[in-house]
Every structure is written in C-alpha cells, then in structure tokens.
C-alpha cells in the first residue's frame, strides 16, 4: 500500500511510519518540523526512517494545500493524518497556531482525500474533546460540547469537519481519540519527560491540583497497534462513513503513581512543589475502549510500570538530551 503519513517526524507519526514500513508499505511522510519543541528530537526520529526502503519525506506545512498535493504525488491507498499543533496549555497563549495547523491543515487533508478519492482517511483526535465531562470512563457517545481548552475545541472541530465530508462525499473517515500517549522518543512537553529532566538536574517538579490528578497513560506501541487496526477497517454507510474510537489503556493511574515510578527507575527522590489546578486542564481521563476492542481487536498490553521502565532505559542510553 502507498500511505501518506502527516506529522511523520512527530512521536506517534514516526512510530506509525516505522510500523507501516515494517510490513512492506510505501510511506510518504510530511512534516513542517516546527519549533514547538526541539527540532533535534524530530530529526532524530526521521533519521531512523530516512534510509529505509519505501520511505520518502517532504518538509512542508499541511495547511499549504498545493504543497500537500505535490507531496502526495498521485494516488494513495490511505492517509494517516497525525500532524497537529499539540498541547493544552500552549493553546491558551498561542491560539492562532492551532487555527492554522489544526483547522486549516485538517481541511487541506480532507480536500486531498476528496480529490484523490482516497479509500480511507484516519485522523488524530484527542481525549481533550471530552473537556468538562464528569462521567467516567469516557465513551465515544458522550457529549463533547464543553471543551476546557482551545486545543480540545479544535479537535472537536476536526471531528465535525470530518463527519460533514464523510456524509457529503461518502468518504470513509476514522477519528482516533488518543489518551496521554507516552514512551521512548516522546514529546518533551509531557509531564513524564518534564519530571524526568528536572529530577536528573536536581530541580523540583511541580505537582498540579495538589497531586489529585489521574491519566489513562497509553504506551506508544499500543497506540500504533490501534492506528493500524483502525486503518484496516474503513467505516461504511451504516455509520455514514465516519467512526470514532477511543485509544487508551482503560487503566487510569494517579499522577503520584507516575512520580513514584520515575523515582524508582531514576533512583532519585523528587523534590515536589504542590500547586493548584492549571487553566485548561482536567482532573481525570479514562477511556472506555469497549468499541475499539469489539470492532478493531484493540488490546493494549503495556502497564505504566513497564512503559516507564522502557522509557527511562531509553533516556539513560542518550549521551545527551535531544530536547
């Protein structure tokens, strides 16, 4: 298969591209290598892909529809759209970055899929769409009209945009609501890596909401398995050609459990500063993955303890931080 992967230098994008190459697919990767976090880390991910048979890379902005069309270079068997401006807190201060990448960029991908009549477009949504939802676990049919961050609002908009294209053009689209993805070569703006670097430097870590936080941490390998499973199952007319899936671990963990695991693996006791809740944040996430289990065979296997052990082993193997 010939598959376009947007955000190919990103955490999930690079791992997905590698898995596609492993099974013999041709991957057209695109990414704008923006400086939201260290470009050196993005280039390190790309370095693992560049010399592999079947991989081609284009440094472009997905919001540039003409450049995206040129990069695609002809018919595609699928698009896996993982490019986005990420980060809940960053969206408070930089909303136009999200309008550009997440709204205009998503529209460019939808239009490319429509023009090329791509058999299936899989795109990244987020657990952030659940916003102020108080019911747990979060299920795909829960209301998602109370976002608490602009990032979450743009991801909700992506789902609505996709549903409209699916109905208008009978265009198969699948949205994946990712829950706190972590692992080696992950995003350095995530708590587990922020804490790791501060602990290694002997600096205190900030614990928000006085530590009363829970997250459905999901290891990167489990997420990639879910992405590939979703890509293999395009939705049909019975769902108006659009389907949403939670991809989480169905095993929410307390923030202080994460801190304890980092202390164990690093052999360092963290100096902790307790603070109140941050604007745009939520106290707890928990994915109901029964739909993904039933329809995709999705079955996450990695515990937080195992995932953090593997992540810290990777970090200890670096001569210097990549971020």
Over residues 158-182, the pLDDT tens digits come to 999 999 999 999 999 999 999 999 9
Residue 35 vs residues 31, 68, 86, 294: alpha-carbon distances, Å: 12, 20, 12, 39
Is residue 229 in some structural domain? Answer: yes
Number of structural domains (the chain) is 1
Is residue 265 in some structural domain? Answer: no
Q: Using one digit for the tens of pLDDT, what is the confidence trace for 82-120? A: 999 999 889 999 999 999 999 999 999 999 999 999 999
* Known active-site residue 151: yes
Residue 279 has pLDDT above 80, yes or no: no
DSSP letter for each residue of 127-150: GGGGTT--SSSB-TTS-----SSH
Residue 273 vs residues 79, 127, 215, 268: alpha-carbon distances, Å: 43, 27, 19, 16
CATH of the domain at 12: 3.40.50.720
Is the CB of residue 5 less than 8 Å from the CB of residue 58? no
Q: How does strand 218-219 pair with strand 181-182?
A: parallel
Is residue 315 in some structural domain? Answer: no
In sequence order, what E strands does the chain have? 2-6, 26-31, 55-59, 78-81, 121-126, 173-178, 181-182, 205-207, 214-215, 218-219, 242-247, 253-254, 272-274
Residues in a beta bridge with 28: 4, 56
Q: How confident is the model at residue 319 (pLDDT cuts 50, 70, 90)?
A: confident
User: 98, 123, 151, 298: which is the annotated catalytic residue?
Assistant: 151
Q: What is the DSSP letter of 104?
A: I
pLDDT of residue 71: 98
CB atoms within 10 A of CB 134: 10
Is residue 28 in some structural domain? Answer: yes
Average pLDDT over residues 180-208: 96
Average pLDDT over residues 27-39: 97
Is residue 192 in some structural domain? Answer: no
Q: How confident is the model at residue 309 (pLDDT cuts 50, 70, 90)?
A: very high
Is residue 172 in some structural domain? Answer: yes
Q: Cα(141)–Cα(50) distance, rounded to whole angstroms? A: 40
Is residue 306 in some structural domain? Answer: no
Domain range enclosing 76: 2-181+217-249+284-301
Is residue 294 in some structural domain? Answer: yes
pLDDT of residue 251: 87
In sequence order, what E strands does 142-232 have? 173-178, 181-182, 205-207, 214-215, 218-219
The percentage of residues in the chain with a pLDDT greater than 90, rounded to a whole number, is: 89
Higher per-residue pLDDT: 318 or 6: 6
């Amino acid at each position: 298969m010939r598959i376009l992967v947007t955000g190919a230098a990103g955490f999930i994008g690079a791992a997905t591209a590698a898995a596609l190459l492993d099974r013999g697919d041709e991957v057209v990767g695109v990414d704008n290598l923006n400086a939201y976090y260290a470009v050196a880390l993005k280039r390190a991910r790309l370095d693992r892909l560049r010399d592999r048979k079947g991989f081609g890379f284009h440094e472009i902005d997905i919001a540039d529809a003409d450049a995206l069309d040129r990069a695609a270079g002809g018919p595609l068997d699928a698009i896996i759209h993982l490019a986005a401006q990420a980060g809940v807190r960053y969206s408070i201060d930089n909303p136009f970055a999200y309008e550009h990448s997440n709204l205009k960029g998503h529209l460019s991908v939808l239009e490319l899929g429509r023009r090329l009549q791509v058999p299936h477009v899989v795109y990244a949504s987020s657990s952030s769409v659940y916003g102020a939802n108080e019911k747990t676990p979060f299920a795909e049919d829960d209301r998602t009209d109370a976002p608490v961050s602009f990032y979450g609002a743009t991801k909700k908009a992506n789902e609505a945009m996709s549903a409209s294209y699916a109905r208008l053009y009978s265009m198969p689209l699948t949205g994946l609501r990712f829950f706190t993805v972590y692992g080696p070569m992950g995003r350095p703006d995530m708590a587990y890596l922020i804490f790791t670097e501060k602990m290694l430097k002997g600096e205190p870590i900030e614990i928000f909401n006085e530590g009363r936080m829970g997250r459905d941490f999901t290891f990167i390998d489990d997420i990639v398995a879910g992405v590939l499973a979703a890509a293999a199952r395009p939705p049909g007319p019975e769902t108006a050609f659009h389907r949403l899936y939670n991809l989480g671990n169905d095993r929410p963990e307390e923030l202080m459990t994460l801190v304890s695991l980092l202390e164990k693996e690093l052999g360092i006791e963290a100096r902790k500063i307790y603070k109140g809740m941050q604007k745009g944040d939520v106290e707890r996430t928990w994915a109901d993955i029964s739909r993904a289990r039933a329809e995709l065979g999705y079955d996450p296997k990695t515990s937080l303890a195992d995932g953090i052990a593997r992540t810290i082993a990777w970090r200890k193997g670096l001569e210097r931080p990549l971020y």
